Amino acid sequence: MLRPGPAQAGMIGALSVVLAGCATRVPTPSQTPAPPVTIVAPAPVAPTPAPVSPVDPIVELIAVSTLHFEAGERELQLGHLTSAKAEFNRALEILLESPPGGRTEPRLRAHFDRLVERISAYEVAALAEGDGFVEQRQETSGLDEILAITTFDVPAPTAQTAQAVAADLEAIVHDIDIPLNAKVLSFVELFTGRLKSFLEEGLSRGVQYLPMIQSIFRAEGLPLDLAYVPLVESAFKPTALSRAKAKGIWQFMRGTALENGLRHDWYIDERAEPEKATRAAAKYLKTLHEMFDGDWHLALASYNGGPGRVQRAIKRSGRTDFWKLAATSRYLPRETRDYVPLILAAIVIARNPAMYGFEIQPVEPLRYETVALARAIDLRRVAEWVGMPVQTIQELNPELRRWTTPVHATEYELKVPSGTADIVQARLTQADPAELAPLNWHTVRKGETLLSIAKKLKVSRTDLAEANYLSPRAMLRAGQRLVIPRAPALLVATRPEAPSPVVVEASTEPAAVVAVSTPATEGPRPQPVPVTYRVKRGDTLSSIARLYRTTVAALKTWNRLRSNSIQVGQRLTIFTTHAQTAATN
């Protein structure tokens, strides 16, 4: 039931009086009727506004913190580690700097702990996939894909295919002999049927490399038809890796690559660099051509199976014609017997793709400039400087096996997107050299060996040796510096409320760490202790961050630093779960 307001109550009262008076005095017919009563409707009453709920500052803090965390996730996906660190730092700092404190108010504490766990999970992923030393992912080689199909299903050529190829060979002059036989026709049938999309993608990708390959082959006097060998070998994928560990668009095995002038070490694999690999392929194909007296079919067979195997097959069979050798399974393996007709069928289609119903969508080549590097640099840092995903920098430099340029190289030419070389050069001159690549170093002590260091630091002895261009059995000398193939700390160190700082003298050599015990605290996490570090000659924020297993961004936040500059004798506050100090030599 609705309760009337004051104005309505007054009006109802007045009407009651009038109506009561009318009820007691009944007018006679001779009486003059009373004038009509005008009733004025009451003015509408504004509804009472609903009470406004007060803004919960804790909910707002959590929302703002979450926005920074999500921004950090987006930056991490692009490979922008510095920006990701800054956003992750900010997500935690917003909680730590709030009046309640990140570890006091229950909801903030729960959100804080949840963020730390999620950030730690990203760090674990970075250690496994993108720490600068894990080798980049590879793609399946084209030949492996083809052989997986041809082993079980090679269609017989139709009359239509045979007629089309015959007409094509009459119309187009090839600089390598292509016989019109059932084997070649069967693979043309396969390429125009089940493998059509594979070949279309390969041809589209190859558009960016063919002018370069043809230019090199023309200069070396090689048949230009051979420029299409990578179409079968790798589908023109620079990072293609076969089951047999052949790599690059030309699918070189490591030994053959080294014999033909390609570099292969812990940091670089030039088999994946298209131009360098093409020059090596031209050299190798010329060698094979001469070895088999100008027979390109035998040369191609040996490119796949190895010249020794083909020579032994010729010696055993007494046959010098590839097609006679391939007519039986006695002398050559199936892959090699199929390889030559596969290449020839691919050449036929590649020279006249429209005739076979292929639609080529050219992949434009990446435009680039080069920057000379005197020091190692993390590719993710370059990507951040130029505002592009790290994948772009990797695609421009496929020879780099890892996320960093060579550590011990005196100079390295890094490719960067067109128009960004000046930006990179300027940032190189401004940046602290110690921060260009997130590397961990170890100074060899007397009596230490590669094996003992590897066990102590929990890394592979082979990796440790190769990362430093050493033999696994190399002797070490005291004072020698080794780069440790292990990821640096990726993320922010946390800073809950803690007691007053204590001064700890420390060296920047992180080899022998002594933990200072602190009182036990309740809760699932150890409480970080603030320590004061006194800067020594040669220190950088990066070296101090490595010592305390934190980040430069965290050091700058804790000490309100606006740049990376520090002075000898300057005191820095560091929050750590263990007050660390290193034994001096």
Average pLDDT of the chain, as a whole number: 79
**536 close to 70: Cβ distance less than 8 angstroms:** no
pLDDT in tens, 189-245: 999 998 999 999 999 999 999 999 999 999 999 999 999 999 999 999 998 998 888
Residues 82 and 230 in one domain: no
Domain that holds residue 72: 57-129
pLDDT in tens, 29-64: 444 455 555 555 555 555 656 555 567 878 888 888
Residues 63 and 172 in one domain: no
Residues 286 and 164 in one domain: yes
Q: Is the pLDDT of residue 578 over 80?
A: no
Asked whether residue 30 is assigned to any structural domain, the reply reads no
Read off the tokens for 1.
């039931």
Residues 473 and 535 in one domain: no
Residue 233 a catalytic site member: yes
Residues 209 and 300 in one domain: yes
Q: Of 62-71, 412-421, 423-432, 555-564, where does mean pLDDT reach its minimum?
A: 555-564
Residues 420 and 444 in one domain: no
**Helix (H) / strand (E) containing 538:** none
Higher pLDDT, 130 or 227: 227
Q: Is the pLDDT of residue 297 over 70?
A: yes
Write down how long the chain is: 585
Q: Is the pLDDT of residue 574 over 50?
A: yes
pLDDT of residue 230: 97
pLDDT of residue 85: 76
**585 close to 511: Cβ distance less than 8 angstroms:** no
User: Domain boundary residue among 129, 153, 179?
Assistant: 129
Residues 424 and 320 in one domain: no
Higher pLDDT, 507 or 409: 409
Q: Which of 378, 404, 380 is nearest to 392 (CA)?
A: 380
User: Domain boundary residue among 81, 98, 129?
Assistant: 129
Residues 206 and 318 in one domain: yes
Number of Cβ within a 10 Å radius of residue 356? 18
Q: Which of 93, 105, 189, 233 is catalytic?
A: 233
pLDDT of residue 410: 73
Residues 326 and 231 in one domain: yes
Quick one: average pLDDT of 292-312?
Answer: 97
pLDDT of residue 173: 93
pLDDT in tens, 329-351: 999 999 999 999 999 999 999 99
Residues 237 and 159 in one domain: yes
**570 close to 537: Cβ distance less than 8 angstroms:** no
Per the structure, the count of domains in the chain is 5
Strand-pairing partners, residue 579, are 516
Q: Which of 375, 306, 45, 338 is nearest to 195 (CA)?
A: 338
pLDDT of residue 504: 31
Strand-pairing partners, residue 483, are 441
Number of Cβ within a 10 Å radius of residue 263? 15
Residues 270 and 389 in one domain: no
Q: Is the pLDDT of residue 500 over 50?
A: no
CATH classification at residue 462: 3.10.350.10
Higher pLDDT, 517 or 289: 289
Asked whether residue 152 is assigned to any structural domain, the reply reads yes
pLDDT-based confidence at residue 151 (cuts at 50, 70, 90): low
**Helix 57-77 × helix 106-129 angle, to 10°:** 10
pLDDT-based confidence at residue 528 (cuts at 50, 70, 90): low
Number of Cβ within a 10 Å radius of residue 563? 8
For residue 1, give every residue at least 6 positions away whose Cβ sits within 8 Å of its Cβ, in sequence order, or none: none
pLDDT in tens, 174-187: 999 999 999 999 99
Helix, strand, coil percentages for the chain (3-state, nearest 5): 45, 10, 45
Q: Is the pLDDT of residue 511 over 50?
A: no
Number of Cβ within a 10 Å radius of residue 413? 10
Rounded distance, CA 313 to CA 315, Å? 5
pLDDT of residue 176: 95
Residues 402 and 533 in one domain: no
For residue 447, give every residue at least 6 positions away whose Cβ sits within 8 Å of its Cβ, in sequence order, or none: none
Asked whether residue 422 is assigned to any structural domain, the reply reads yes
Q: How far is CA 312 from CA 287, 297, 302, 318, in A?
A: 17, 16, 11, 10
pLDDT of residue 581: 39
Asked whether residue 496 is assigned to any structural domain, the reply reads no
Higher pLDDT, 399 or 519: 399
